[in-house]
Structure 1
Amino acid sequence: MSTVTAVPLQPVKKSALTTLWVGIIALAVLALAYGWWTTRIPAIDFTVVKEGTGPSPTDTDIALIKYKGALADGTVFDQQEQAPMPVGSVVPGFSQALKRMKKGGSYKIVIPPELGYGKEAKHDQSGKEVIPANSDLHFDVDLLDFRSQAEVEAMQQMMQQQMMQQMQQQGGQGGGAPKGQ
């Protein structure tokens, strides 16, 4: 036979219920404010077309990319088959996108003006406006490869040394002035 022990419950004070409801309302207001605030922060639109492999570049890396940049109306403003991009030195939206990519992947990116060129129009060398102020930038990007800044500098030094050696070798193989008579 089981026994039940009765425990007397204390009545809840009205002030405690009021405090509870005020807290719930305050949390709801904060959640709405947070939701509004986070939608106001500009963000890139990042779509994976083909997933790459391995790690992603960092701010100190130089990415080798193939890309096409266009305006919302489809007007292409720039494209390259192989372009080195210092991840930490490009417009903020492009940097954010590069740091989410993986080698061998293909991506579509839309960068809002706040993370692109903003209120400034971009002009080509002749002075013609290429990107109007407050433009969304649409990119198709393939991440071909990336290396650290230190690796790239070491490769450049090695190439310079090889060129110097070749020039010295060519200069010593009969390329001097003819001997006098």
Structure 2
Amino acid sequence: MKKITTLSVSALVSAMLLVTGCSTNNGNQETSSQSVSVTEKSPANEKVGYSLGYMMAEGNKEAVGDLNLDTFEKGFRDGYEGTDSALTQEQMQEVLMTYQKEQEEKFVKDMESKATDNKAAGEAFLVANAKKEGVKETASGLQYKVIAPGTGKSPKATDVVEVNYEGKLIDGTVFDSSYERGEPIEFPLNQVIAGWTEGLQLMKEGGKYEFYIPSDIAYGEAGNSGIEPNSTLIFTVELLKVK
């Protein structure tokens, strides 16, 4: 899983430059974008323009969620047609850098707030979960429940294992699943989160466990793709084979 990173306005600017450099509209800017109709039978230059515009917007709408489309189109047209810009190059660079800094600060504050809330929610969940029938807890705070004990060998931290699994947040949201992909996954046990490294060594081949992993032995304050900072995680794991 990829780690969560702050947005980069420079990536959006690069995408804008790409569209400007690749446009094949030959200077014909008379038609408003709202009245243009594009189909698979449209001329090639219309389809190229639409495709570049759509993919750029789709790929960057999260980076600039409050983008003013009217002024964006105005700036794009002026730049493409060679019209004098309303702002100097220095002013535009300052505007974009200031915007990027503000968004990064906002992102950091948002992540800090989520980290605090998730930590508290995770701790409350684990306290309640520890009281449920069949749930055991290790010294690290890892909680687990045996669904099927298994009869094969147990892995060491240095072993490669083959497993099927489903990962959920404590609100029930599934963020990853080998079952959905239709095939198990294989990996060295010492190259995953600490909760997995510890938990799978409790299992035997053929076993199926449910793990409740505190954030400090999961992805911690950094979080991960689809996982907010300080999230407590729930995994259902089947240990298929120790290699």
Map 1:80-95 → 2, pairs under 5 A: 80=178, 81-95=183-197
Which residue of structure 2 lines up, in the alignment, with residue 76 of structure 1? 174
AA paired with 2:154? S
Q: Distance in 2 between matches of 1:85 and 1:136?
A: 22
Map 1:107-126 → 2, pairs under 5 A: 107-123=209-225
TM-score by length of 1: 0.54
AA paired with 2:230? N
Q: Distance in 2 between matches of 1:73 and 1:42?
A: 23
- SS of 1:114's partner is helix
Q: Distance in 2 between matches of 1:42 and 1:88?
A: 16
Equivalent residue for 2:240, pick from 144, 150, 154: 144
Q: Which runs of 4+ in 1 moved over 3 A?
A: none
Q: Identity of counterpart residues, as a percentage?
A: 38
> Once the two structures are superposed, what CA deviation does each residue of 1:31-55 show, in whole Å capped at 9, x if it has no partner?
xxxxxxxx9x641111110010132
Q: Distance in 1 between matches of 2:166 and 2:237?
A: 7
TM-score by length of 2: 0.40
Q: Which has the higher helix share?
A: 2
Equivalent residue for 2:198, pick from 96, 102, 106: 96
Structure 1 residue 60: deviation in Å? 1.4
Aligned-residue CA RMSD in angstroms? 1.5
In 1, are the aligned partners of 2:159 and 2:188 still within 8 Å (CA)?
yes
> Once the two structures are superposed, what CA deviation does each residue of 1:3-53 show, in whole Å capped at 9, x if it has no partner?
xxxxxxxxxxxxxxxxxxxxxxxxxxxxxxxxxxxx9x6411111100101
Which residue of structure 2 lines up, in the alignment, with residue 59 of structure 1? 157
- SS of 1:131's partner is coil
Structure 1 residue 66: deviation in Å? 0.3
Q: Distance in 2 between matches of 1:104 and 1:119?
A: 33
5+ residue gaps, structure 2: 1-136
AA paired with 1:131? I
Q: Which has the higher strand share?
A: 1
5+ residue gaps, structure 1: 1-38, 124-129, 148-181
> Once the two structures are superposed, what CA deviation does each residue of 1:33-86 show, in whole Å capped at 9, x if it has no partner?
xxxxxx9x6411111100101321001111100000000001111011400121
Structure whose CA Rg is larger: 1
